[in-house]
């Protein structure tokens, strides 16, 4: 992957293994986006706090899962987020069979936008708009989706929308799947959340249950744990903050339409995912999931939208933190 450079000219592009990588830049950030690889944001570099810092997990090897899922960067989830168990979409008395794209689990994962090439509609030095049209190959879904990434001062904003282009009402959802770096010192605090999902084995949703303030990061805590972290929050109305001591903090906010974020980290991983999404795991296939967070039933021509904002900043000086806590 080409290295990011402060000397790169506006709207520059470079070849990747898959297609053309486009670059955006302002005084605070530099971003690399690969439209051909599912609208993938390959890298996001913060350069205002001192030496450049990679805000997204972006290893040299660019790993993929057995299902071909990119395990780095940030990519869109459309026309739904996370798992559709068994590839069977259920809404009311209607059932659609979807192609299984994760053979290991036997599920349809993350919709299909991350597997499709996106088209560049508009580009400037500080913004990029992509589009993706699905008219076949994903069950009965017919839709158009738009993704816009923009840099504004210290804020990175990603807007994602989808419009039903089918002949009948259909359930839709959206999400964004960022992969953030993580080590033994990384901490997370999640604010403004009401509950979480209890799961049966295989991440089948059972019910919304109360949160544990310490165990579920409401008062902050280290992300590196010996066991898997998989928390699907319900009714998120606040912000999440990742802190990298001695380096930077990263604030994550999202639209009210993406109020069911998933926090996930396998044991020993060098990344952590905090994924704003419009519904809980399994809502496309499990009635319990739909009861906790119904998907958006869009008529032909109707749309839904959501956004995520990332803001990097220098950490508070230790002396100030101590003074605030007194």
- Condensed to tens digits (0 to 9), the pLDDT of residues 60-97 reads 667 777 667 788 999 999 999 999 999 999 998 999 99
Which tokens hold the place of 228? 């898997």
Q: Which of 136, 146, 74 is nearest to 110 (CA)?
A: 74
Task: Report how far residue 295's alpha carbon sits from residue 305's, in angstroms, rounded to the nearest whole number.
Answer: 13
Q: State the pLDDT at residue 69.
A: 77
Asked if 81 and 278 touch (Cβ cutoff 8 Å), the reply is yes
SS3 299: coil
Per-residue pLDDT tens digits for 23-33? 999 999 999 99
Q: State the pLDDT at residue 73.
A: 95
Q: Where do the structural domains in the chain lie, given as residue ranges?
A: 13-325
Task: Report how far residue 306's alpha carbon sits from residue 259's, in angstroms, rounded to the nearest whole number.
Answer: 10
CATH 2.70.98.10 fits 13-325, yes or no: yes
- Is residue 165 predicted with pLDDT exceeding 60? yes
Which tokens hold the place of 197? 């999902």
Q: Which of 164, 148, 168 is nearest to 156 (CA)?
A: 148
pTM: 0.92
Tell me 258's DSSP state: G
Task: Report how far residue 236's alpha carbon sits from residue 190's, in angstroms, rounded to the nearest whole number.
Answer: 9
Per-residue pLDDT tens digits for 105-152? 999 999 999 999 999 999 999 999 999 999 988 999 999 999 999 999
């Amino acid at each position: 992957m080409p290295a990011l450079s402060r000397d790169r000219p506006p709207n520059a592009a470079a070849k990747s293994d898959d297609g053309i990588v486009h670059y955006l830049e302002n005084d605070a950030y530099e971003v690399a986006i690969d439209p051909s690889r599912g609208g993938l944001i390959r890298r996001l570099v913060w350069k205002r706090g001192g030496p450049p810092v990679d805000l997204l997990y972006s290893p040299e090897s660019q790993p993929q899962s057995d299902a071909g899922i990119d395990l780095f960067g940030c990519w869109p989830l459309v026309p739904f987020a996370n798992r559709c168990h068994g590839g069977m979409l259920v809404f009311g008395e209607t059932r659609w069979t979807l192609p299984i794209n994760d053979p290991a689990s036997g599920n349809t994962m993350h919709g299909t936008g991350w597997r499709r090439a996106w088209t560049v509609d508009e580009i400037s030095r500080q913004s990029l708009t992509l589009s993706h049209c699905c008219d076949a190959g994903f069950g009965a879904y017919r839709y158009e989706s738009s993704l816009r990434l923009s840099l504004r001062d210290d804020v990175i904003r990603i807007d994602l929308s989808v419009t039903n282009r089918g002949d009948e009402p259909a359930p839709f959802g959206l999400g964004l799947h960022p992969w953030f770096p993580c080590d033994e010192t990384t901490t997370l605090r999640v604010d403004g959340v009401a509950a979480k999902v209890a799961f049966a084995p295989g991440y089948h949703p059972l019910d919304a249950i109360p949160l544990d303030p310490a165990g579920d990061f409401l008062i902050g805590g280290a992300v590196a744990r010996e066991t898997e972290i998989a928390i699907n929050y319900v009714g998120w109305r606040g912000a999440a903050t990742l802190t990298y001591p001695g380096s930077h903090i990263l604030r994550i906010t999202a639209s009210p339409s993406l109020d069911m974020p998933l926090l996930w980290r396998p044991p020993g991983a060098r990344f952590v995912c905090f994924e704003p999404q419009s519904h809980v795991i399994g809502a496309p296939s499990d009635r319990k999931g739909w009861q906790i967070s119904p998907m958006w039933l869009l008529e032909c021509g109707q749309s839904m939208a959501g956004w995520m904002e990332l803001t990097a900043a220098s950490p508070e000086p230790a002396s100030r933190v101590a003074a605030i806590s007194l």
